[in-house]
Chain A
Amino acid sequence: MSFLDDFMIRAILAGVGVALAAAPLGCFVVWRRMAYFGDATAHAAILGVALSLTFSVSIFAGVLVVSLAMALTVSSLTGRGFAMDTMLGVLAHSALAFGLVAASFLSGIRIDLMAYLFGDILAVMPDDLAVIWGGAAIVVGLVVWRWSALLTGTLNPDLAYAEGVDPKREQLVLTIALAIVVAVAIKVVGALLITAMLIIPAATARSFSRTPEVMAILAAAIGAGSVFGGIRASYHFDTPTGPTIVCITAILFVLSVSLSRLGRNSTARNDA
């Protein structure tokens, strides 16, 4: 009897794994204004699910391949004179629609669409945990390894070139990391809420951070805390777990913004 036999423990471990990987990557998504990019990549995951079930390969592999294809497509379209906002809107929503239609063709296979759209963290198995933590370790490793180059590329591409960094390569690193996060997060929060796990903890951490590193670490802590709080709350109120986790991060975000407003007002009064 191992402690992994408890589905609550597995859920918490899965959620924390996703939160740790999503946090530092989410910071870059926020700094580089890639929120919609995240959406497009995440929505493509549903198509990935449908394809993996059709060809009976692992959901993780299918989602990873399709999300990566979507992320690379979007990435290669950037800076080619397309109206990116519109283009991302087209890609994000058509990927979702095609995914849902493809899933409906899968007669004979019982597919719980809700589980892929909003996650089913309580159904996480020990094997899933290995995949989630493996993926999370790769993402955190990538981001930590390329950290200063990624930051320089985010500040200014020309500055990056002058300092021996190829910003296109760093963009590719982020793109790959994003696809991995989507693939490991789909079971936990579902395709529709993955972007929330990327962006909200990072945005919440912003008010309390003076350096990029502090922001990434705080975001990880906030994400992990929300997973704990969300799982407990969903048990208590009998609500769907993935959305409950996102609700907790959203509440923390509102609190952080209000707190920093209050803090700023009181400093302003002290100065006067």
Chain B
Amino acid sequence: MNLFQMKGVGISFGGNRILGHVTLSMEPGEIVTVVGPNGSGKSTLLRILVGALPVDEGEVIRKQGLRIGYVPQRLQLDPTLPMTVSRMMRLRRKVSRADVSDALEQAGIPTLANRQMSELSGGQFQRVMLARALLGRPELLILDEATAGLDQPGTASFYRQIEQVRQDMGCGVLMVSHDLHVVMSASDRVICLNGHICCEGEPSHVASAPEYRALFGEGTKGALALYAHHHDHNHTHEAAE
């Protein structure tokens, strides 16, 4: 059973067609990454799935009672809104304090429960948002450029955690990212988007597709090769991040 199915989906804003002819589905446990230039409709695609945007053409079928976990691109908390990490974790769901501290422990940020959200670093903030999304035991985890603004070690460790989450919880992951090289290595399937689906497939297949080259140039292949190595150690300062 697919997590969702999009059939010939199209959407326009004020006469501008943002997406068209998008047909896409995902299986449980799959990691799918959407890449594409700015304004290619990546975020729009995710917002349609989340239910924030009605489509103009085609249809979106979600699995009955699909549990979605959503991590937005850097949430802007108004400075006048006081919010502790622990309160943020319990905002929508009745969750015990023990579950909250377990979730923070798993996210590698066990000491942050009583801190203000506004005091967190970018990486800590996104880990809280991820931990919060996971508390709802999602079947589909949706990440919208969740690592925008993080440095490279922060980004790498964030994606290692996503990988771990998929293994532990078996949820599907759909993400938009600009970190082409990191993402390519972590995904089962890559979708190259530019108003429509240009090409899709395994990372290696997409990276060599002419449509992808046309959008991202030859240079990316170099970056991909550059990053095709494994970390055999982890620095403690990274773990604390």
Interface assignment of B87: CB less than 8 Å from any CB of chain A: yes
Contact B80 A31 (CB under 8 A): yes
Interface stretch (choices A12-20, A151-159, A183-191): A151-159
Q: Mark A126-156, 1 if CB is under 8 A from B, else 0.
A: 0000000000000000000000100110111
The smallest beta-carbon distance between A216 and chain B, in angstroms, is 10
The residue among B70, B77, B116 with the most chain A CB atoms within 10 A of its own CB is B70
What is the count of residue pairs linking A and B with beta-carbon distances less than 8 angstroms?
Answer: 65
The residue among A151, A155, A161 with the most chain B CB atoms within 10 A of its own CB is A155
Chain B residue nearest in CB terms to A30: B80
The smallest beta-carbon distance between B181 and chain A, in angstroms, is 27
The residue among A148, A158, A203, A214 with the most chain B CB atoms within 10 A of its own CB is A158
Per the CB 8 Å criterion, the residue count for chain B at the interface is 25
The smallest beta-carbon distance between B135 and chain A, in angstroms, is 11
| A219 CA / B78 CA spacing, docked (Å) | 18
| A31 CA / B116 CA spacing, docked (Å) | 16
| A241 CA / B207 CA spacing, docked (Å) | 72
| A212 CA / B88 CA spacing, docked (Å) | 10
Contact B52 A212 (CB under 8 A): no
- Give the chain B neighbours of A162 by CB distance below 8 A: 50-52, 68-70, 142
Query: Given contacts A30-B80, A31-B78, A33-B78, is CB(A158)–CB(B87) below 8 Å?
Result: no
Contact A210 B51 (CB under 8 A): no
Contact B72 A212 (CB under 8 A): no
The residue among B76, B83, B92, B136 with the most chain A CB atoms within 10 A of its own CB is B92
- Give the chain A neighbours of B142 by CB distance below 8 A: 162
Interface assignment of A211: CB less than 8 Å from any CB of chain B: yes
- Give the chain A neighbours of B75 by CB distance below 8 A: 155-156, 159
Contact B81 A210 (CB under 8 A): no
Contact B87 A203 (CB under 8 A): no
| A198 CA / B78 CA spacing, docked (Å) | 17
| A49 CA / B75 CA spacing, docked (Å) | 42
Chain B residue nearest in CB terms to A161: B52
Contact A211 B87 (CB under 8 A): yes
Contact B82 A210 (CB under 8 A): yes
Q: Mark B37-74, 1 if CB is under 8 A from A, else 0.
A: 00000000001001110000000000000001110100
Q: Which one, B51, B82, B116, B136, contacts A161 given CB within 8 A?
A: B51
Interface assignment of A206: CB less than 8 Å from any CB of chain B: yes
Interface assignment of B157: CB less than 8 Å from any CB of chain A: no
Interface assignment of B91: CB less than 8 Å from any CB of chain A: yes
Interface assignment of B161: CB less than 8 Å from any CB of chain A: no
Q: Mark B147-175, 1 if CB is under 8 A from A, else 0.
A: 00000000000000000000000000000
What are 13 A-B contacts with C-beta separation under 8 Å?
A30-B80, A148-B91, A148-B92, A152-B92, A154-B81, A155-B91, A156-B76, A157-B52, A161-B50, A162-B51, A162-B70, A210-B116, A214-B82
10 interchain residue pairs of minimum CB distance: A162-B70, A161-B52, A162-B50, A209-B82, A31-B81, A161-B51, A211-B87, A163-B92, A158-B52, A30-B80
Known: A151-B91, A161-B50, A212-B82. 11 other contacts (CB 8 A): A154-B78, A154-B81, A157-B52, A159-B72, A162-B51, A162-B52, A162-B70, A162-B142, A206-B80, A210-B82, A211-B87
